[in-house]
Amino acid sequence: MSVQISASDVNKLRQQTGAGMMDCKKALVEANGDFEAAVDYLRKKGAKVAASRQDRDSNEGVIIAKASADGKSGIVVEVNCETDFVAKNADFVAFAESVADLALANNPATLEDLKALEIGGVKIADALIDQTGKIGEKIDVSKYESVTAEKVVAYIHGNYRLGVLVGLSADVAGADDAGKDVAMQIAAMNPVAIDKDGVDSKTIERELEIAKDQIRAEGKPEEMVEKIAAGKLNKFYKDSTLLNQEFVKDSSKNIAQFLDSVAKGLTVTAFKRVQLGA
């Protein structure tokens, strides 16, 4: 004899799992009214949905950047979905916020370590499968970065489209505002490193080769190529390394000079910039 499934039972399971009404009713029927078995059924259905969507692109989503209460650490995560419609859904954003909170509280070393943490008694890796089944789109955490410093400032730009962490060398008066200004600079100008010492050798070699090819194409004599290329490399450092960039809010200073005007010797010790889908 089949078990009668009431509307209140279906609603209770829906509230518990977030799955659709028809999915909840089917789960309860399949589980013969057993709530635990129905939850398992929905989770298995979610896993099946997730597996069938692994080849789908999930380039939409949100970037969440947060700093700890003491300002000594910060994290930024990218949580993805397939459509902008889901990215704007309050439940999806809340899920992303909970992942970010967990990352901030535990400071995992890698993205894999983050996915191994538990959220509501379930590993994030499994919760992503649950979310995929619930929402019907591929859901994933694709990026995770962290910064520790004497002062960390977090900034989210463009309705969760881009997140920045800035680590400053000291927690001084005005550090929060200065950190936000520097974070906005990073968001806008996308520097490759803090200063020229942080630029990797491969990038330097590439920039020099591009410069030399341009100079030779202009017909300059070979003996001048190295000298002119060195000048172009210095221009690259000025344009592309944070401390040497012209401050967008005051073109009379670079970022190093701006920070020094806030507090003598104040500088950037680390930064991370995560852009949605990049």
> Lowest mean pLDDT: which of 47-56, 78-87, 128-137?
47-56
Count Cβ atoms within 10 A of the Cβ of residue 208 and give its class: 0-12 exposed, 13-18 middle, 19 or more buried: middle
Partners of residue 118 on adjacent β-strands:
123
Q: How confident is the prediction for the chain on average, in pLDDT?
A: 92
In angstroms, the CA 99 to CA 119 distance is: 8
CA 141, 73, 240, 231: dihedral to nearest 10 degrees? -140
Query: Which tens digit of pLDDT belongs to each residue from 245-262?
Result: 999 999 999 999 999 999
Helices (H) and strands (E) in the chain, counts: 11, 8
Q: Is the dihedral of CA 207, 209, 211, 214 positive or negative?
A: negative
pLDDT at 2: 65
pLDDT at 83: 93
In angstroms, the CA 51 to CA 219 distance is: 58
Tokens for 187?
A: 């968001």
pLDDT at 118: 95
State the DSSP code for 190.
Answer: -
Residue 222: helix, strand or coil by DSSP?
helix
Query: Which tens digit of pLDDT belongs to each residue from 18-72?
Result: 777 888 899 899 999 998 888 888 887 876 767 777 777 778 999 999 999 999 9
State the DSSP code for 161.
Answer: T
Residue 56 makes CB contacts below 8 A (sequence gap 6+) with 82, 137, 138
User: Residue 183's CB: how many other CB atoms inside 10 A?
Assistant: 22
Identify the residue with better confidence: 41 or 92: 92
Identify the residue with better confidence: 16 or 75: 75
pLDDT at 14: 81
Query: Which tens digit of pLDDT belongs to each residue from 179-203?
Result: 999 999 999 999 999 999 999 999 9
**pLDDT interval class at 230 (50, 70, 90):** very high
Does the pTM surpass 0.85? The reply is no
**pLDDT at position 73 over 90:** yes
In angstroms, the CA 119 to CA 109 distance is: 17
Q: For strand 162-168 and strand 151-157, is the pairing parallel, antiparallel, or unpaired?
A: antiparallel
**pLDDT interval class at 13 (50, 70, 90):** confident
> Lowest mean pLDDT: which of 18-22, 140-144, 265-269?
18-22
